[in-house]
Structure 1
Amino acid sequence: MNNSVKLAALMPLLLSWFPHCALAAATDEKSENKQEDQIVVDGLAGKAGAATGGSGDQVSGAGFKTDDIEVGPLGNRGWVATPYSSTTVTRDMIDNQQAMSVSELLKYSPSTQMQARGGMDVGRPQSRGMQGSVVANSRLDGLNVVSTTAFPVEMLERMDVLNSLTGALYGPASPAGQFNFTAKRPTEQTLRRVTLGYQSRGAYTGHIDLGGHLDDGHKLGYRINLLNEDGEGSVKNSTLRRKLLAVALDWNIQPGTQMQLDYSHYEYLKKGYPGGFSYGPGVKLPSATSAKDKNLSLKTAGNDLTTDTVSTRLIHYINDDWYVSGGVGWQQADRAMRSVSSTITDNQGDIKRSLSNASAAGRFRVLSNSVTLNGHLTTGSVGHDVALSTTGYVWSLYSSKGASQRYDLGTTNMYNPSPMEEPADGKIHKNGARYKSSQNTQQSVTVGDTVTFNPQWSAMFYLSQSWMQTRNYASGGGKTSETNNNGLSPNVALMYNITPSVMAYVSYADSLEQGGTAPTNAGLKNEGQTLDPYRSRQYEVGLKADVAGMNLGAALFRLKRPFAYVDTRDMEYKEQGDQLNKGLELTASGNVWQGLNIFSGVTFLDPQLKNTVSESTSNKRVVGVAKVQANMLMEYSLPSVPQWVYSANVHYTGKRAANDTNTSWAGSYTTLDLGTRYTTKINNVPTTLRIAVNNVTNEHYWASIFPSGTDGENGSPSAFLGDGREVRANVTFDF
């Protein structure tokens, strides 16, 4: 991609920052897509609507702008008043872009990626180029959930991403940001929404979204989402199947008190798609091939995932200034992963293929909790918004007792692959005997205060004390090891309101993360020992503005994360290296002109490994992380025909290091998605028709590359192909 094309792609974003565009946007032209499903619970008006995690966000345009954000123990805060860089994907965006996975939502934020493991649907969300964790960085309605399983976005009201260290708020976690999902809640007005859809080569979808109340007094509210998708995916002879049942119930016990109950069951099956491509340190990653080539896949191989989630929350307003909320959640994620793995053997794209039943954890269970007391008080002329909370989880991993099977499928070339056949002795199974292989427990107590000195100056102080425990078990059931650690995570920020709608801030965050464990059977002094918690640090300077119908944000940051490896001089596993990421984020979202709305951002990042296990990998770029990533989602409707909307999304990812020594690179890529929707009435039933073509140019690209380790060991990375051109269409009826 040449510089002129890059500049053209980014020009609308840059122009949106100029004052004359912002002033022009003051016409505040609103589209036809208003939030129709807002929660108004008797006795819980105002702040309570936000506290229940509902759809009380005031949006403009096509849901591109949001005025507030839920931030853990801080509760619901204004977007401008929050000293964190963040992005929010709303329900309107999910519906109108026909998004079907978390990885599709992440591309709209300039700082986030999905780091694929068993594919883009079984990966770890990450922000600012830092590798995420399985549980600590992802939450549903404030409670921890598994990130490495497919997640049904059809049940979501919104996704908020905090691009920051969050240990002071949420407890120990990777410095990969915090991904907060909010489920749909019961609607004040009766909702009867049916969506029929089509995608790929022949996958058909039916989605029913029902909401309302069971009684005239609006004491008992409900929200039910039913989804069924089945058919052939974008690859010939593939299978794509999704089933969802999600139920949310609200019981308004009395004015100011509400209990929420949630349950969801999600089945996800995706077979016949290409798997991962691994390559050794001496092989350069070739340019990507077509992800739609059926000869790169086996129709019986893929991911079969089932996830069950149950949670309950209680919110009680003591008075206008104080409220308490608490919740408990349980989730079980079963993963049957039978995949075709391709090993690239040379720079020309020759590959050796094999079929395996993955030896990774086949079942995850998470039991999570959260209790928070929020309030406002005044001492003299100084205001205090205080919080006291505790949050934590118990995460259990269950591994297969049986040995992993692997079958040789021969050699071929990735650009002209020969077809594969199921091995004659190949075994296809979903479940088997499991045992609890490990249990990770975290619990944190957080205390904090946001101090308002005057209309211009305020400061935020948060501190958490955390306790961490890791237990490992043998297949026979006996405990093999146990480690216990604890520590503090602070976060401070100073904020200055240049105007009521423009805020500048400077912040410092120091966050814990579970330390690494020394390898066993390697002759180490401390083999099997888990190190003290790692401590990541971040400095950030930012500017946020909510002007003329737009959210404008800028953040300059320096983020450092430690890692550990074996010191061969004394044969001890110890913390002795760092990943240092420095960058600049720019975002602009909202109404730019009459009928024109954007959701855009660009991140400039310098990700480097320092003091690595090998001199050849020190001071090198981090594998799979681009120096530049940008996205621009635009929607336009003629003022004379507001019911007809055109959309375009341009995503750009720059060149990425493909190995730790930076002798191999994955080229930059740009994808273009085009779509349109039309809103009308059929027999007096409000109807919306949508059609979209994703990756219009059928770009071949590597969607994700992850290294074998974070310490610069220069092992064998793995790469996953991005989706090819795909057509999606649906029609929504609001009865």
Structure 2
Amino acid sequence: MHHLRSSKLLPVNRHTFQLPPLRIAISIAFTGLSVAHASTALAADQNIQQQVYQYNIDAGPLAEVINLFASASGLALTFEADTLKDIQSQGLHGQFTIQQGFSKLLSENGLQAVKSDDGTYIIKKRSKSSSTEKPATLPEVAVKSKADSGSGLQPAYAGGQVAKGGKAGFLGNKSIMDTPFNSTSYTSQTIQDQQARSVLDVVQNDASVRVVSPQSNGSEVFYIRGFSVSNQDISFDGMYGILPYWRGSVAAAERVEVLKGPNAFLNGMAPSGSVGGAINIVPKRAEDTPLTQLSASYISGSNFGGQVDFGRRFGPDNSVGIRVNGVYRDGDTNRTSQELGETAIALDYRGDRGRAWIDVGYQNLQTDKVEGLMGLATNASVPSPPSASKFYYQSWTTWKNETTYGVVHGEYDVKPNLTVYAAAGQRHFRDNYLFPFGFGLTNQGSFTEGFARASSWYDNTSSEVGLRGQFETGSVQHRVNIGLTSFNQDSGVKSGVVPTHASNIYNPTDIAEPTMASLGHIPKTGQLDLVSMAIADTLSMFDDSVQLILGARKQQVDVDAWDITTGAKTASYSRDAVTPAVGVVLKPVSNLSLYSNYIEGLSQGPVPTPTAFNNTQVFAPIKSKQFEVGAKYDFGKLMATISLFEIKRPSGFTDPATNIFGVDGEQRNRGAELNVFGEITENVRLLAGGMLLDAKQTKTQGGTFDGNYAVNSPKFTANIGTEWDTSFIHGFTVNARVVYTDAAYIDAANTQKIPSWTRFDLGARYHFKAGEKPVVIRANIENVFDRSYWMSSSLYRGNPRTLTLSATVNF
């Protein structure tokens, strides 16, 4: 029997609140599948039955919907396996008591929920005497929180900072305990409470993720398990190529999901070939409760902004929904200047058998005083960075980009156990940049400042179609998915030349902006096509206590390039590869999950150097291979996960003896991860983790660097974040976070490295009412002690001390 409990989330009262404003606001912040849990005390059952709760559970098989309802309400539930078989439900959306919820879900199917003496609810067929009869003894079916079909979100875990599960790519939405991978889904509550501006601000909660570039740069790059993941490989609701190419806002994000390790089977080959992990953005959808929320914000310096979040549902059973998010910010921060304008509109329809979603968005982002990477001179040691707020590049540098996108998703239940789905989306991206970079940095801080000047465009089309179904062979249940994906990216990049000059990071040289002619028309210079077919079967036995996931994906990769001046084709690449995956989940008890996986990553095959003997050879996509084992333990309100992994990624080089280029290099990353999140007590929350990493160069050119540590791979990283709802002021919460990153080498020879660094962040928020309107005031300070540190091998500096303030009002 699985009995979920929560004493943190609060019921919704239709009229007045006499509860602390903080707890009310936390309940409101649970967008998506926000639910208010019942008290754990069975002695207070009478009050529980009369309380009203907010539910947002999507349509699907009744067994799955009732499981989500029970999990969200903190109930124990049993039913005969055949009682709910082949019955579909419209889901549950709105405010209901527990009995109203049961009635809404069950009555139309001739079913009812009868409560036994021990508090367990039993689902059975309705009879005339059912209101008074004692329930018979029935075979028990343990309740599990599932959201394997459709776009239904897993509910938030205790504390509300992360969810109980997320999208595992091709396998769909799965609970943490049923996923044979290490993944974390950060909720909209975390995004809002931390005043996150982009993915960068969200994923820095994870000790296995380190950000390479700061907010003062025009792009975002991450390292997950010691391998890079670029912003262009972030997916939108599971689809590549929809979000802005370099950096995107999270104003309209319901969840930011991080899956660690190679994932070609789960998500297909990423456009840039990232293998360290996957990041997925889940968009906000309209809830049954009307929402009109306005926010004002400030970022230290003189950056001011505002945001609106509007949601409504219409039609029979609230079947049609609209969610609109808009944000605008502009002004200087401590080291740069940014202007952001964004609009995101999400429409959805949920019917008896069909569901559809439409997302359209626009983003315009301009960053002035851009900070670029810095290269160290040969044989030089890394100098101490200047003051964290000091800007040592030219103030006239800029990075402008504009993005428009649209996506349509749909699915239809052909039968209760068979669903067809399809999706298609497009993105138009344009940018124009003139950003600086440094090279030849000496011990004294001298360097040469250069500039990258270019205009570019990237037009993408992404689509998928598939079939998802369930069937049984004896006592084994199968969940099968067959799908096709297609990704196309046409691009054009045209660059210009800007003279270099000498400068110093401690005493920079300012020069006048040179006069530069327009780059003019930008023809098509590149094309990338990724087409794949995948199949997966999840075999479940013994009431899901044993699960085996088998799957494979065949990926076709086609790349073409053209000369910017002559239009002649300069490169053509066409290869395919098959990437299998195996995952196992064992649950000896309901709150312990043991898992293991073998999965591969996929990147475009390397190109031989022009001077190599075989410089015309085309190599197949390279496969990164991961073996992982782990355990996840749910203490009820606190969850701990531990993972052990090994990833091997091939690379190419030219053999100095034969002058033949081959895929003979290799980097091997071994590591151990620990993550803990949830509630320590009713008023204290924890979001923490650590990673030990042994990243080695195991095969290098001529064996020169064999055994050396890999670049940009700290041996230890850790995060500890806590929140405390104070007892002395109702509605007042304080939070703190410590981020530690060990020293890391920045060259393959291991002669140059950046020192370790520790950053301290503090924050507070206050929930109260202005009249009848809930108001939240938030304040966060990143890098409280204003420490200046090199954050990565690219010699980017961490952000200076930065204060963010916001005020949010719900109407």
| Aligned mates of 1:29, 1:540 — CA distance in 2 | 34
Alignment of 1:416-431 (within 5 A): 417-423=507-513, 425-427=514-516
Equivalent residue number for residue 780 of structure 2: 692
Contact kept in structure 1, 2:656 and 2:701, CA below 8 Å: no
Contact kept in structure 2, 1:249 and 1:260, CA below 8 Å: yes
- 1:237-292 deviations in whole A, cap 9, x for unaligned? x422110011111134x323122111111111111243321123322222222241
Task: Give the aligned residue type for 2:466.
Answer: T
Q: What's the offset of the Cα at 1:358?
A: 3.0
Contact kept in structure 2, 1:118 and 1:276, CA below 8 Å: no
Equivalent residue number for residue 69 of structure 1: 166
Name which of 339, 363, 368 aligns with 1:266. Answer: 363
Q: What's the offset of the Cα at 1:171?
A: 2.0
Equivalent residue number for residue 237 of structure 2: 141
Equivalent residue number for residue 666 of structure 1: 754
Q: Secondary structure at the match of 2:511?
A: coil
Equivalent residue number for residue 503 of structure 2: 411
| Aligned mates of 1:122, 1:365 — CA distance in 2 | 18
Q: Secondary structure at the match of 2:201?
A: helix
CA change 1:306–1:62 in 2 (3 A) is farther
Name which of 565, 568, 590 aligns with 1:500. Answer: 590
CA change 1:324–1:119 in 2 (3 A) is farther
Alignment of 1:25-44 (within 5 A): 28-30=7-9, 31-32=23-24, 33-34=26-27, 35-38=29-32, 40=56, 43=59
CA RMSD of superposed structures (Å): 2.4
| Aligned mates of 2:674, 2:294 — CA distance in 1 | 37
CA change 1:337–1:211 in 2 (3 A) is same
Tell me if 1:397 matches 2:494: no
Name which of 383, 386, 409 aligns with 1:289. Answer: 386
Please report the TM-score for the alignment, with normalisation by the length of structure 1: 0.88
Moved more, 36-45 or 652-661: 36-45
| Aligned mates of 1:666, 1:172 — CA distance in 2 | 32
Q: Secondary structure at the match of 2:669?
A: strand
Tell me if 1:321 matches 2:410: no
Equivalent residue number for residue 366 of structure 1: 460
CA change 1:363–1:557 in 2 (3 A) is same
| Aligned mates of 2:171, 2:238 — CA distance in 1 | 12
Q: What's the offset of the Cα at 1:147?
A: 7.0
Q: What's the offset of the Cα at 1:363?
A: 2.1
Tell me if 1:620 matches 2:739: no
Q: Secondary structure at the match of 1:131?
A: strand
Contact kept in structure 2, 1:103 and 1:121, CA below 8 Å: no
Structure 1: where are the runs of 5+ without partners? 1-24, 706-717
| Aligned mates of 1:610, 1:160 — CA distance in 2 | 31
Higher relative contact order (CA 8 A, sep 6+): 1
Q: What's the offset of the Cα at 1:52?
A: 8.2
| Aligned mates of 1:606, 1:642 — CA distance in 2 | 46
| Aligned mates of 2:216, 2:706 — CA distance in 1 | 29
Equivalent residue number for residue 399 of structure 2: 303
Equivalent residue number for residue 795 of structure 2: 719
Q: What's the offset of the Cα at 1:698?
A: 0.5
| Aligned mates of 1:697, 1:372 — CA distance in 2 | 52
Q: What's the offset of the Cα at 1:477?
A: 3.1
Q: What's the offset of the Cα at 1:177?
A: 0.9
Q: Secondary structure at the match of 1:701?
A: coil
Task: Give the aligned residue type for 1:692.
Answer: N
Contact kept in structure 2, 1:589 and 1:597, CA below 8 Å: yes
| Aligned mates of 1:409, 1:482 — CA distance in 2 | 37
Equivalent residue number for residue 514 of structure 1: 604
CA change 1:156–1:506 in 2 (3 A) is same
| Aligned mates of 2:30, 2:492 — CA distance in 1 | 43
Equivalent residue number for residue 333 of structure 2: 233
Q: Secondary structure at the match of 2:661?
A: strand
Q: Secondary structure at the match of 1:434?
A: coil
Q: Secondary structure at the match of 2:531?
A: strand
Q: What's the offset of the Cα at 1:321?
A: 2.9
Tell me if 1:341 matches 2:437: yes
| Aligned mates of 2:584, 2:486 — CA distance in 1 | 28
CA change 1:457–1:73 in 2 (3 A) is same
Contact kept in structure 2, 1:119 and 1:276, CA below 8 Å: no
Equivalent residue number for residue 582 of structure 1: 670
Name which of 173, 179, 182 aligns with 2:282. Answer: 182
- 1:645-688 deviations in whole A, cap 9, x for unaligned? 11111111111112111111101111111110011111211110
Contact kept in structure 2, 1:42 and 1:255, CA below 8 Å: no
Equivalent residue number for residue 572 of structure 2: 482
Alignment of 1:155-304 (within 5 A): 155-173=252-270, 174-215=274-315, 218-235=318-335, 238-252=336-350, 254-294=351-391, 296-304=392-400
| Aligned mates of 1:642, 1:623 — CA distance in 2 | 48
Percent of aligned positions that are identical: 22
| Aligned mates of 1:81, 1:41 — CA distance in 2 | 19
Q: What's the offset of the Cα at 1:215?
A: 4.3
CA change 1:74–1:27 in 2 (3 A) is closer
Task: Give the aligned residue type for 1:729.
Answer: L
CA change 1:732–1:381 in 2 (3 A) is same
Tell me if 1:470 matches 2:559: yes
- 1:487-511 deviations in whole A, cap 9, x for unaligned? 2111112221121121111221234
Name which of 683, 700, 704 aligns with 2:792. Answer: 704
Contact kept in structure 1, 2:265 and 2:580, CA below 8 Å: yes
Tell me if 1:459 matches 2:548: yes
Alignment of 1:521-670 (within 5 A): 522=611, 524-613=612-701, 615-639=703-727, 641-670=729-758
CA change 1:290–1:616 in 2 (3 A) is farther
Contact kept in structure 2, 1:123 and 1:147, CA below 8 Å: no
Q: Secondary structure at the match of 1:395?
A: strand
| Aligned mates of 1:322, 1:636 — CA distance in 2 | 46
| Aligned mates of 1:422, 1:26 — CA distance in 2 | 64
How many residues end up aligned between the 2 structures? 684
Q: What's the offset of the Cα at 1:234?
A: 1.4
Equivalent residue number for residue 129 of structure 1: 226
Q: What's the offset of the Cα at 1:539?
A: 0.8
Moved more, 285-294 or 680-689: 285-294
Q: Secondary structure at the match of 1:631?
A: strand
| Aligned mates of 2:517, 2:589 — CA distance in 1 | 63
